[in-house]
């Protein structure tokens, strides 16, 4: 406790002592003035301080605010610079200061010695340049100098003047002269009717902007793809000489496939020559009568009976209605066997079946029932296989029905193959009706025509050839398989393209064919390939008359006991 009281007394004493010294310092500063100056010489500083201490405060203020006579700073004579000579260009202009000019910026407000360095006049250096002109381009390398192209004046755009011819005509209404009266009336205003006839100026023709190339879509090309609507079945067989393979590719339409049917015009050609004999002619007429009932109501038909002469049921094809069938039945009853010396001429009735123009939504078909007895001569063979085929040009599909004992079936078969058709053989007269009805059902629903097939192998070293050729390919029917024969050098995969004309669009089928799951063919495949190969040789013979084509065809067909034509 005592210690705390002792500490408190010490603290109080220190505080009082500090307060005393602070008060003393304030009184001292109020009574006396302190002067501070920059370091100078010791003698001069003591002299100034002693002078200040001796003067009273009011005297100091009087001296501070009274104007002091300015001391003129002595100036040293500046060195006169040499006068510059005029050169090609001046680096720096000469700087001159006025003489005898007093400067008081360095004068002290007190009587203190002035700084001699600040009071002296500055001296600036001068330069002289040779009088000769100096061209910098003459001293640079020539390869560094890039000429500056001369500026061309901008091309003035003169717009094409547009001439406008305005013809103005003023028509004033007729003013009736009236006798002036004494009455004052207000004159009616006269209206001037102006008609303006504007002749538009001819505008310059605009330059058409070319359209950028664009790949058309299938809809723009009116093409439909049915690649997934057909199944492919492939069989193959190696060639006897080991040079490659032959194959048969069958396109089978799926059951749910729906395509618009193309209207068909069918013409029945009945051979009534004496070589037919009565029994066969009677069976032929009965078969045609039965086949009429199987025709589609949308189709039309006609009948032509011929030997050396021809009879046509109707000048134009008739619709498949009951009245037309009655006309056909009456016409069939009038067909009789020709005389003993009568022969048939196939070219003339076939000529009548070819139309002048074929629409996209129609097909023409000719069904020939004959024994082809007159085709045993080369002239008759050439007239059908070459002349009529060229005239027909694929417009009419030719089908034929014969009997197994006919002599010229090979020629008749080639004629049908050249014209998108097929030959059917019957062993007996009664079988003619069955063959004809089968044919009618086969071709009853055509959906595409002008079918063409192409194949591209995935191997560059392999070559693929397809049969038949494009102008010989048969029409496509909705419920019938489509068979394509071909030969290839290797068993590499290939891409098949099938195109044809539908009723209102184009058909497009693209399928990749592989031999991995292909079946091995039989002897019938080799026989069919030999027949297709012989057709190609027959065409070469018709073009160049070279008999070596017939010899080669005979060598191909001999192992299969097939008849060779043009012998």
> Coil, strand or helix: which one is 466?
strand
Neighbours of 305 (CB within 10 A): 24
Rounded distance between C-alpha atoms, residue 35 and residue 56, angstroms: 14
Q: State which H helix or E strand residue 165 sits in.
A: strand 165-171
> For 69-81, what is the mean pLDDT?
46
How many helices and strands (H and E) does the chain possess? 13, 19
Q: Cis ω on the peptide bond leading into residue 408 (within 30° of 0)?
A: no
Q: Using alpha carbons, select from 519, 548, 538, 458 the residue that is nearest to residue 245.
A: 519
Confidence at residue 107, expressed as pLDDT on a 0 to 100 scale: 47
> For 207-230, what is the mean pLDDT?
71
Query: Residue 1: which pLDDT band, with cuts at 50, 70 and 90?
Result: low
Rounded distance between C-alpha atoms, residue 239 and residue 528, angstroms: 13
Give just the sign of the alpha carbon dihedral 440, 446, 449, 453.
Answer: negative
Two structure tokens written together for 98:
């006025």
Confidence at residue 151, expressed as pLDDT on a 0 to 100 scale: 59
Two structure tokens written together for 469:
């050729």
Of residues 540 and 99, which shows the higher confidence score?
Answer: 540
Report CA-CA distances (Å) from 559 to 242, 375, 530, 543, 562: 17, 24, 9, 26, 8
Q: Is 132 a member of any domain?
A: no
> For 184-213, what is the mean pLDDT?
50
Confidence at residue 217, expressed as pLDDT on a 0 to 100 scale: 67
Two structure tokens written together for 450:
């002008």
> Coil, strand or helix: which one is 143?
helix
Q: Is 374 a member of any domain?
A: yes
**What percentage of the chain has pLDDT greater than the value 70?**
66
Domain assignment of residue 108, given as a range: 39-68+100-118
Confidence at residue 200, expressed as pLDDT on a 0 to 100 scale: 52
Rounded distance between C-alpha atoms, residue 268 and residue 413, angstroms: 17
Query: Residue 192: which pLDDT band, with cuts at 50, 70 and 90?
Result: very low
What 3 state SS string does 315-359 have? Answer: CCCEECCHHHHHHHHHHHHCCCCCCCCCCCCCHHHHHHHCCCCCC
Judge whether 518 and 492 are in contact, CB under 8 Å.
Answer: no
What sections of 491-546 are H helices per DSSP? Answer: 523-544
Two structure tokens written together for 30:
């109020």
**What percentage of the chain has pLDDT greater than the value 90?**
55
What sections of 175-319 are H helices per DSSP? Answer: 278-292
Last residue of a domain, one of 48, 83, 118: 118
Confidence at residue 131, expressed as pLDDT on a 0 to 100 scale: 52
Rounded distance between C-alpha atoms, residue 132 and residue 150, angstroms: 30
- Of 61-70, 231-240, 279-288, 456-465, the range with the lowest mean pLDDT is 61-70
Of residues 275 and 60, which shows the higher confidence score?
Answer: 275
Residue matched to tokens 């220190």:
14
Confidence at residue 138, expressed as pLDDT on a 0 to 100 scale: 64
Q: Is 163 a member of any domain?
A: no
Q: Using alpha carbons, select from 407, 417, 350, 341 the residue that is nearest to residue 383.
A: 350
Residue matched to tokens 């040079």:
243
Supply the DSSP symbol for 459: S
Two structure tokens written together for 128:
């002289």
State pLDDT tens for residues 504-523: 999 999 999 999 999 999 99
Query: Residue 234: which pLDDT band, with cuts at 50, 70 and 90?
Result: very high
Confidence at residue 125, expressed as pLDDT on a 0 to 100 scale: 53
Radius of gyration of the chain (CA): 63
Q: Is 538 a member of any domain?
A: no
Give just the sign of the alpha carbon dihedral 128, 131, 132, 134.
Answer: positive
> For 132-144, what is the mean pLDDT?
58
**β-strand pairing of 263-271 with 362-369:** parallel
Of residues 3 and 534, which shows the higher confidence score?
Answer: 534
Intra-chain end-to-end CA distance of the chain, in Å: 160
**Residue 15 pLDDT exceeds 80:** yes
Q: Count of domains in the chain?
A: 2
Confidence at residue 342, expressed as pLDDT on a 0 to 100 scale: 86
Rounded distance between C-alpha atoms, residue 464 and residue 362, angstroms: 32
> For 264-270, what is the mean pLDDT?
98
Last residue of a domain, one of 83, 118, 153: 118
DSSP for 21-87, please give it.
HHHHHHHHHHH----------HHHHHHHHHHHHHS-HHHHHHHHHSPPPPPPPP-PPPPPPPPPPP-
State pLDDT tens for residues 411-465: 999 999 999 999 999 999 999 999 999 999 999 999 999 999 999 999 988 999 9
Two structure tokens written together for 232:
């492919």
What is the pTM (predicted TM-score) of this model?
0.63
Confidence at residue 11, expressed as pLDDT on a 0 to 100 scale: 87
Q: What is the mean pLDDT of the chain?
A: 79
Q: Is 246 a member of any domain?
A: no
- Provide the CATH number for the domain around residue 334: 3.40.50.410
Neighbours of 361 (CB within 10 A): 14
Query: Residue 147: which pLDDT band, with cuts at 50, 70 and 90?
Result: low
**Residue 38 pLDDT exceeds 50:** no
Confidence at residue 544, expressed as pLDDT on a 0 to 100 scale: 94
Confidence at residue 201, expressed as pLDDT on a 0 to 100 scale: 52
Report CA-CA distances (Å) from 296 to 162, 300, 320, 329, 398: 69, 8, 7, 18, 19
Last residue of a domain, one of 59, 84, 118: 118
Judge whether 129 and 85 are in contact, CB under 8 Å.
Answer: yes
Q: Is 126 a member of any domain?
A: no
Rounded distance between C-alpha atoms, residue 109 and residue 60, angstroms: 13
Q: Is 560 a member of any domain?
A: no
Q: Is 390 a member of any domain?
A: yes
Query: Residue 222: which pLDDT band, with cuts at 50, 70 and 90?
Result: confident
Q: Which residues are within 8 A (CB) of 129 and not within 5 positions of it... i.e. 6 or more apart?
A: 84, 85, 87, 88, 89, 90, 91
């Amino acid at each position: 406790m005592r210690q705390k009281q002792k500490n408190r007394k010490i603290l109080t004493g220190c505080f009082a002592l500090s307060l005393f010294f602070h008060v003393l310092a304030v009184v001292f500063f109020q009574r006396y003035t302190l002067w501070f100056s920059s370091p100078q010489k010791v003698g001069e500083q003591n002299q100034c301080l002693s002078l200040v201490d001796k003067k009273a405060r009011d005297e100091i203020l009087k001296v501070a605010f009274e104007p002091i006579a300015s001391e003129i700073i002595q100036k040293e004579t500046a060195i006169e610079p040499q006068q510059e000579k005029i050169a090609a260009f001046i680096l720096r202009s000469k700087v001159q200061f006025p003489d005898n000019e007093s400067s008081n910026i360095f004068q002290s407000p007190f009587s203190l010695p002035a700084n001699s360095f600040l009071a002296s006049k500055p001296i600036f250096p001068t330069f002289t340049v040779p009088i000769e002109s100096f061209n910098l381009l003459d001293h640079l390398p020539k390869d560094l100098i890039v000429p500056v192209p001369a500026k061309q004046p901008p091309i003035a755009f003169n717009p094409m003047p547009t001439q406008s011819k305005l013809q103005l005509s003023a028509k004033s209404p007729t003013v009736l002269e009236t006798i002036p009266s004494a009455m004052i009336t207000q004159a009616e205003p006269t209206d001037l009717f102006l008609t303006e006839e504007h002749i538009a100026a001819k505008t310059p023709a605009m330059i058409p902007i070319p359209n950028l190339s664009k790949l058309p879509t299938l809809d723009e090309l009116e093409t439909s793809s049915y690649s997934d609507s057909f199944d492919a079945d492939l069989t193959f067989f190696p060639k006897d000489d080991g040079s490659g393979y032959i194959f048969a590719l069958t396109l089978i339409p799926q059951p749910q496939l729906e395509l618009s049917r193309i209207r068909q015009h069918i013409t029945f050609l009945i051979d009534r020559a004496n070589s037919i004999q009565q029994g066969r002619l009677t069976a032929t007429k009965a078969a045609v009568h039965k086949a009429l009932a199987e025709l589609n109501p949308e189709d039309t038909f006609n009948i032509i009976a011929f030997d050396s002469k021809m009879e046509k049921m109707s000048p134009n094809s008739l619709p498949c209605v009951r009245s037309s069938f009655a006309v056909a039945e009456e016409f069939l009853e009038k067909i009789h066997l020709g005389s003993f010396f009568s022969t048939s001429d196939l070219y003339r009735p076939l000529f009548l079946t070819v139309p002048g123009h074929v629409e996209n939504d129609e097909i023409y078909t000719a069904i020939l029932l004959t024994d082809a007895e007159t085709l045993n001569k080369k002239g008759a063979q050439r007239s059908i296989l070459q002349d009529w085929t060229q005239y027909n040009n694929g417009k009419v599909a030719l089908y034929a029905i014969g009997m197994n004992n006919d002599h010229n079936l090979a020629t008749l078969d080639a004629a049908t193959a050249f014209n998108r058709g097929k030959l059917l053989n019957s062993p007996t007269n009664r079988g003619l009706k069955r063959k004809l009805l089968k044919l009618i059902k086969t071709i009853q629903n055509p959906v595409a025509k002008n079918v063409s097939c192409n194949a591209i192998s995935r191997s560059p070293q392999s070559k693929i050839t397809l049969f038949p050729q494009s102008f010989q390919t048969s029409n496509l029917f909705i419920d019938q398989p489509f068979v394509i024969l071909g030969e290839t050098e290797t068993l590499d995969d290939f891409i098949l393209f099938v195109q044809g004309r539908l009723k209102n669009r184009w058909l497009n089928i693209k399928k990749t064919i592989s031999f991995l799951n292909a079946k091995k063919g039989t002897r019938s495949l080799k026989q069919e390939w030999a027949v297709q190969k012989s057709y190609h040789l027959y065409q070469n013979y018709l073009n160049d008359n070279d008999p070596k084509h017939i010899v080669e065809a005979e060598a191909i067909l001999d192992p299969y006991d097939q008849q060779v034509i043009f012998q």
